[in-house]
Structure 1
Amino acid sequence: MGMIRKSAFAVMGAALTLALAGAAQAQTTLNALFQAQAGYSESDVRAMTDAYLKMHPDVQIKLEFVPYESLHDKITLAAGSGQGYDVVLFDVIWPAEFAENKILLDVTDRIDAKERDAVETGAWTSTQYKGRDFGMPWSADSKYLFYNKDMLAKAGITELPKSWDDVMKDAAIIKQKGIAEYPIVWSWSQNEAAICDYALLMQAFGGKWTDDAGKPAFQTGGGLEALKFMQKSVKDGLTNPNSTQYLEEDVRGVFSSGKAAFALNWSYMYDLAQNSTKDSQITGKVGVMAPPGVPGISTIATVNGAQGLGIPANTKNADAAWSYIQYLTSPEVETKYSGSSPPIWKTYFKDAIAKNPPNVDLIKAQDASFNALFNRPSVPDYQQFSARLQQALQQALLGQATPEDALKSAAADLSSK
C-alpha cells in the first residue's frame, strides 16, 4: 500500500513538474495588422517589434502588412469571422464605424490623465468617437507641400508661396521656363488619397462637409471652390495629368525623380526624397512647408491623416495587445523613428526644434499643422460617403462633369441614404 501511494505521488509530482515547465514555456501569440505604405515603414515596424520581443520573451508576434486599400476590409472581415487579429492599425476615418459595430474595444479606462495630457490634442480625434477612446493615436500626420529647391532657384523664385495662388503662379513660371513640363503632382486617383487632398484644399477655401442639420454642404462654398481649383490646375497644364491615377507612392516617385517642383504628401516622403540616394535623385534639394491657405480665409491648410492602434473586440489577449500598443506609441520609440512619421507627443516638437536638426523645416511644418488639423467627416457610413465623393472628384478632374454638377449629384445621393 505504501509503495503504491509513493508511486502515485511520484507520478503526480512528475506530471506537476511537466505542467509547470509547460506553463513557463507557454507564449502569448499576438496577430498584428499594419499597412504596407506611408507612415512607419515595414522595416520600422519590424525593428520596433523585435525590440519589444527582446523585453517580452513570453510573447510571440505575427506581423501582417497589407496595402492601405485592403486594411479596412481585412479588419471588418476578421471581426465578422470571430477570429483574427489582436492589434490593428486603423485610419482616422473609421472609429465611428468600428465603434458602432463593436469591432474595436473601448480602451478609455486604460488611458490615464497624465498620458492623455501629454499627447497632441488633435491626435486624439483619430481614435475617438462620442467621447470614448477606441485605440491609441499613432502617427499623427498631415500632408505637406514639398518643393524642389533647385527648380525654384533656376526659375528665379526666391520667396516661398504664401497662398495657393502663389503656388500656381510659381508653377506657371517653372513651366514657362521649361524647367518642368508639369510642375505639380498630386495623389488624385479615385481613392481615399484624393479625398485627403480635397479635404486639405477644402479647409484652405473655408469649406465644410455638412451643414448644421447634418446634410452635405461640400457642394457649395469652399468645397466647390476647392474642386474648381483642382480642375483648373489640370486644365492649365500645371498639374501632372497622371495625378488622376496616382497614389502617394506614385507622387513620391515622380517628385523624387526630379520631374516635379511641388508635391503634396505625408511626412514619410521627406526622408526618402531628401536623404536616400537609393530612393531619390534629388537628395539635398528637398524643401517642405505647411501647405498655404487662401488670403482672407485661411493661413495654412491641413488634413488629419492620423492613425490609431486598436484592439479588436474578439481578441483573447487584450492585456498583452495593450502592452504592445503602449510600447509602439511610447515617446522613446516614436522619437527614434520620427524620420518616418511624426510622434504624437507634445514635448517632441519643442525639444526637436530647439536642437535644430537637418529636418527642422519638416518638424516646424508638422508643429504648425497639428494646431489646425482638419478632419474628414466622422460618420458610421464613411466608406460609402467617401466612395461616392471619390467618384464625383474623378468625374470633374477628367472633364466628365463640371465641379458644380459632380458635387451636386454626390450630395443628392448621400442625402437620400
Structure 2
Amino acid sequence: MKIRTILATGLAASVALALTACTGGGAPQGGGSADGEITGEITFQTWSLKNDKFTPYFEDVVAAFEKEHEGVKVNWIDQPAEGYEDKILQQAESGELPDVVNLPPEFAHELAGVGQLIDVKKESDIIDQYVEGGLEAYTFDGIEGTYAFPWYLGTELNYWNMALLEKGGITEAPKTVDEMLDAASALAKVGERTISGVPGPKTLQVLLTDQGAEYPFIVDGEFSFDTPEAVALVERYAELYKEGAVSPEALQNAGVANDNIDNFNKGTVAWTTAGPNYIDKNLAVNAPTLLPSVTVTSGFGNQPLFVQGISVSANSKNPAAALAFAEFVTDDENQIAFMKLAAGFFPGTVKANEDPSAFAEAAQNEQQKAATDFAAQQMATARVPGAPGSGYVDSMEGYAKQQIALAITGEISAKEALQKAQDYANENASE
C-alpha cells in the first residue's frame, strides 16, 4: 500500500472551478455543523482498501460502531486506486459526497474552499488528541478551520553506509545537513560518493530548515523557490559535484521516483533518505550484503510528513453520526489496529505513537527497530513539505529536480534553475 498523492498537474484547480460552478460561488470557508443526535444512515468511503487484507478490519470497525450506536447504519464503500480524483469530483458535483471520506490534503483543500466539508477543529471535542503536523496538513491559508482527522502517516529517515563514511575518516553518522555536506567533501577526497539524489524544492525546504533558514515556498500567492539560501545550497551541491561527491546516477535519474534509494542499494553512495520500513522491506530484500554497513538516524530539519485523512461532508443528512464515526475510525485503538496491517505507516494520534511496538511489525534487523522508533518520535515534529493545499504536485517537483540537476553539473546557474522551477509551477498551477 502506498500513500496516495495527487499526480495530475492542474487537477486541483479544475476541481475548484467545477465545484465553484456547482455550488454557485465558493466562499473561502468550510461549512456544515455536526450538532444533533447520533443516529441515521451514513456512507463511509475509503481509497483502494477493499481487499483480503483490509476488508475484515473495516467490517469489524463498522460493526463495533453500529453496536455502540444502535440507531446508526454505516455503509462502507471503497473506490479503486485509479480515477479516485475524478470520482471525488463527480460525487461533489452531484451532491453525493460520502458522509465520511478518505481525502488527501489537496482534495480536502478544494472541497473545504467551497463549503463541502465540516470544520472538525470547530466541531470535534477531541481534536487536540491528533498529531499536530497532520492537522496542519488540513489547515489551509484563507480558509478558517481544519478539514480532516489525520489517519495514517508516513515520514522519511536518514540512512548511512558507514563502511563508506569510515573511508573518509567519519566514524559517526552525520546529524545535521552541514555535517552531511562536510562528510560528502571528505569522502570525495578518497574517491567515494555521498549524494544519492538531486534535491527538489520540497527537499530543499527540509535541508534549509536544518540550516536555520526559512524557505517560504509561496510568497504573495505564488510559488517562490529562488531564495538566496536555496541558491547557495544548490551551489554547494555543484561544488560537491566538481569534487566527485555526487553520484552520476543521481543526475541521470533526477525526478525518477525512488532513484536515490535504488542508487544507495548499489553500495556506491554513503547517504539516502527512505521510509521507516526500508531496512526490513527493501534493503534486506534487495541489497542484503549492505545490512551490516547501514545505520539509521532521524530526518533533518522539519522532517517530512506524508498524510491521509478522514473528512466529514458538510452536506451529510446525519452530521452527528458522521462526525462520531470519523472520530471512531481515527481513535487510538482503531488506528493502532489499522497500522498493524499498514506496515511502515504511523497513527494520526499522539498517544498511539507513544509505543510503536503496539502496531509495528517485529523487526527482523536491529536497525529496523531503531528506524521505527525514530519515525514514531518524528510524528511530533514532522510537517508536510512544500505548502499543503497549494496545488504543488509531483510533476512540478520532478521538473524542478531536472533543472537543479542541470545547475549541479554547471549547465545553468543555481538561480536560473530555481527560477525556472518556480515559473513552471506557477504557470501550471493556473491551468
TM-score band, normalised by the shorter chain? Answer: 0.5 to 0.7
Are 1:138 and 2:144 matched, yes or no? no
Q: Secondary structure at the match of 1:244?
A: coil
Give the aligned length. Answer: 363
**In 2 relative to 1, CA 351–157 (structure 1 residues): closer, same or farther, beyond 3 Å?**
same
- Say whether residues 1:340 and 2:344 are aligned partners: yes
Q: Which one of the candidate residues 346, 371, 374 is aligned to 2:381?
A: 371
Change in 2 beyond 3 A, CA 1:316/1:229: farther
Instruction: Give the Cα–Cα distance (whole angstroms) in 2 for the partners of residues 138 and 117 of structure 1.
Output: 14
Superposition pairs of residues 307-318 of structure 1, within 5 angstroms: 307-312=308-313
Whether the 8 Å contact between 1:255 and 1:261 is mirrored in structure 2 is yes
Aligned-residue sequence identity (percent) comes to 19
Deviation at 1:347, TM superposition (A): 3.0
Cα distance in 1, alignment partners of residues 56 and 329 from structure 2? 11
Match of 1:224 among 231, 254, 262: 231
TM-score by length of 2: 0.65
Please say if 1:383 is aligned against 2:386. no
* CA–CA distance in structure 2, aligned partners of residues 256 and 149 of structure 1: 13
C-alpha contact (below 8 Å) 1:207/1:223 kept by paired residues: no
The residue that corresponds to 1:20 in the other structure is none
Which of 102, 106, 110 is the aligned partner of 1:97? Answer: 110
- Distance in 1 between the 2:277 and 2:317 partners? 34
For residue 404 of structure 1, report the CA deviation from its aligned partner: 0.7
Q: 1:51 to 1:90 in 2, by over 3 A?
A: same
Task: For residue 161 of structure 1, report the CA deviation from its aligned partner.
Answer: 0.5
> What is residue 408 of structure 1 aligned with on the other side?
419
Partner of residue 191, structure 1: none
Residue ranges of structure 2 left out of the alignment (5+ in a row): 1-39, 67-72
1:63 aligns with 2:78: yes
The answer as to 2:251 corresponding to 1:246 is: no
Q: Which residue of 2 aligns with 1:272?
A: 281
The answer to whether the 8 Å contact 1:78/1:84 transfers is yes
In structure 2, distance between residues paired with 1:142 and 1:93:
18
Cα distance in 2 for partners of 1:385, 1:105 equals 25
Taking the aligned partners of 1:98 and 1:233, their CA distance within structure 2 comes to: 44
CA contact (8 A) 1:185 1:254 kept: yes
Q: What is the aligned counterpart of 1:198 among 201, 204, 213?
A: 204
Q: Which of 1 and 2 has greater Rg? A: 1
Matched, 1:164 2:174: no
SS at match of 1:306: strand
Q: For 1:179-218, list aligned pairs within 5 A.
A: 183-186=194-197, 194-205=200-211, 206-209=213-216, 213=220, 216-218=223-225
Residue 397 of structure 1 deviates from its aligned partner by 1.7
CA distance in 2, matches of 1:110, 1:256: 47
Aligned-residue offset at 1:159: 0.7
Q: Unaligned regions of 5+ residues in structure 1, if any? A: 1-25, 37-41, 189-193, 293-299
For 1:153 and 1:46, the matched residues in 2 are separated by 48
Matches within 5 A, 1:299-314: 300-312=301-313
Task: Tell me the C-alpha RMSD between the 2 structures.
Answer: 4.5
8 Å CA contact 2:99, 2:312 repeated in 1: yes
Letter in 1 for 2:275: W
Instruction: State how 1:252-267 maps to structure 2 within 5 Å.
Output: 252-255=261-264, 260-267=269-276
